[in-house]
A and B are shown apart, each in its own frame.
Chain A
Amino acid sequence: MNMHYTILFYETPEDFARRSDPERQQEYLAGWSHYVKALRESGIVVSGAGLDAPSTAASLRRHGGEMRVQDGPVTETKEQLGGFFVIDVPDLDAALEWAARCPNNAVEVRRNLPPMK
């Protein structure tokens, strides 16, 4: 029986910069478009999206009942979430195989919890 796994793609500031740099944008996008195409044509994609750069993020945090909104992501790490795919594959090994094909250098795989009743 197949399971849903989420592949989370982490990108460096450099990766995010390439997205909007006219000279490197095309190469960046080409790498992803081939990967996305291979995923989709293999018929395993449940859903997925690329995410805007972390600088566009807004985070909310409740402090003692008071909600504070701030600019930027929840955690300030060097690599930030740049996009994700939910895929439908038999097991973790298969999910890792797909993760290994992604064009960037840091990627995390997690099994999705079953939907809540």
Chain B
Amino acid sequence: MNVHHAVEQAARDSYGRLVAYLAARWHDIATVEDALSGAFVAALETWPRTGVPDKPEAWLLTAARRKLIDGARRARVQAKAEPALLAMAEEARRWSRSDEDFPDERLRMMFMCAHPDIDPSMHTPLMLQTVLGIDAARIASAFIVKPSTMGQRLSRAKAKIREERIRFEFPDESELPQRLGAVLEAVYAAYGSGWDDAAGADPRRKGLTGEAVYLGRLLVRFMPDEPEALGLLALMLHCEARLEARRNAAGSYVPLSEQDTALWSRVLIGEAERILSCAAQAGRIGRFQLEAAIQSVHAQRAYTGRTEWEEIALLYEGLVRIAPTISTHIGRAAAVAEARGAESGLALLEAIPAETIASYQPYWALAAHLFKRLRRDEDAHAAYSRAIGLCTDPSVRDFLQRQAGQQ
């Protein structure tokens, strides 16, 4: 293995662990990240001469600690920092000599990133940066935010953690469900950044889906019995299973109902199904399990050749009670239209308040489709136009244009 590759590998595997470990002791994520990137630079300089150490994490920790000492000296806070630095040195020595694994405190880190005192819109970016080391520019592109703005928001969030000493401790029983909910939402938002809707567009476009699945797997490793963490992972894996079917050979968008199920990954569907049935054993239903169950019904088409729309409609009815988001309401309307006719679907769609859907693309795409089925040509024409105008993905835009042209 060449040295650059070894450093890269160490970076991917260790980055989050080291940030979590250091942040728990130092309370200053920005400083910890700087020290750590200094340590990785030092590794790139040193390892080609000395070889990759047996315990790269212990080595990196020692190097990062040196950077922290330098920083503390400059900021004249060394006396205050002394106990933490001494403890770190002792621990680094211990890990480099024992078989013990480096402690993995990434779950705590994830909970801290989704702390209620931090702006909810920053939960996901903070988690992507601290746990996975993704840079602000890439996060900014995924969420269509100005990169310098994203950088400032990340710095502000880290400053808040430092100044208000947002606790690194694991939330207690009473606040766990709410905090876990925020962590799950943050991971799902990372997954959703690559999508226009969970059933649709091209994940390669923005590509944080792989990172989100990694975080989802991490969560399940830490909380193997938590049904909603399992549900979220199952949901993401069901969507991942369809990766190859979302585009045809010409690269055009293919909607779920027209996808060639031979292209769906049976391996991923199988894994998603096993995870979802594990989740069900807890007997505690939740939003992500319901969403995964809906995708599970879709997945059955690979084996039965049909889609049980009535079943999907019923699952959506459960879902709108737990999570009454616009996207859930639209998903329900689509399922009801398939199961009970376009008019029933349209009635649900028209009950959604107009101000919430003015610029919400999936609403107009579904409305157009249902108007077309009901032969309300003028309404269909107007809704297609609106849906096309609100698209960000050129291949979805082309698809809708073809649909509109077939009237």
What residues of chain B lie closer than 8 Å to A100, measured between beta carbons? Answer: 144, 392
| Tally of contact residues, B, Cβ under 8 A | 16
> What is the chain B residue whose CB lies nearest that of A97?
B144
Nearest Cβ on chain A to B404's Cβ, whole angstroms: 9
The reply to whether the CB of A30 lies closer than 8 angstroms to some CB of chain B is: yes
What residues of chain B lie closer than 8 Å to A21, measured between beta carbons? Answer: none
The reply to whether the CB of B386 lies closer than 8 angstroms to some CB of chain A is: yes
User: In whole angstroms, what is the CA distance A100 to B385 when docked?
Assistant: 17
User: In whole angstroms, what is the CA distance A87 to B6 when docked?
Assistant: 50
What residues of chain A lie closer than 8 Å to B389, measured between beta carbons? Answer: 34-39, 101
| Tally of contact residues, A, Cβ under 8 A | 19
Query: Which of these, B144, B385, B401, contacts A37 with CB under 8 Å?
Result: B385
Interface residues of A in 65-117 (CB under 8 A from B): 92-93, 96-97, 100-101, 103
User: In whole angstroms, what is the CA distance A39 to B390 when docked?
Assistant: 8
User: In whole angstroms, what is the CA distance A31 to B359 when docked?
Assistant: 17
Inter-subunit contact A41/B386 (CB<8 Å): yes
What residues of chain A lie closer than 8 Å to B385, measured between beta carbons? Answer: 33-34, 37-38
The reply to whether the CB of B391 lies closer than 8 angstroms to some CB of chain A is: yes
User: In whole angstroms, what is the CA distance A38 to B389 when docked?
Assistant: 5
Nearest Cβ on chain A to B390's Cβ, whole angstroms: 5
What residues of chain A lie closer than 8 Å to B386, measured between beta carbons? Answer: 34, 37-38, 41
The reply to whether the CB of B301 lies closer than 8 angstroms to some CB of chain A is: no
The reply to whether the CB of A43 lies closer than 8 angstroms to some CB of chain B is: yes
The reply to whether the CB of B145 lies closer than 8 angstroms to some CB of chain A is: yes
Interface centre among B359, B388, B389 (most CB of A within 10 A): B389
Interface residues of chain A, those whose CB is within 8 Å of chain B, are: 30-31, 33-39, 41-43, 92-93, 96-97, 100-101, 103
Interface residues of chain B, those whose CB is within 8 Å of chain A, are: 144-146, 149, 358-359, 385-386, 388-392, 394, 397, 401
9 extra interface residue pairs, beta carbon distance < 8 Å, beyond A39-B389, A103-B397: A37-B389, A38-B385, A38-B388, A38-B389, A41-B386, A97-B359, A101-B389, A101-B392, A103-B394
Sample of 20 A–B contacts (CB below 8 Å)? A30-B401, A33-B385, A34-B389, A35-B388, A37-B385, A38-B385, A38-B386, A38-B388, A38-B390, A39-B389, A41-B358, A92-B146, A93-B144, A96-B144, A96-B146, A97-B144, A97-B359, A100-B144, A100-B392, A101-B391
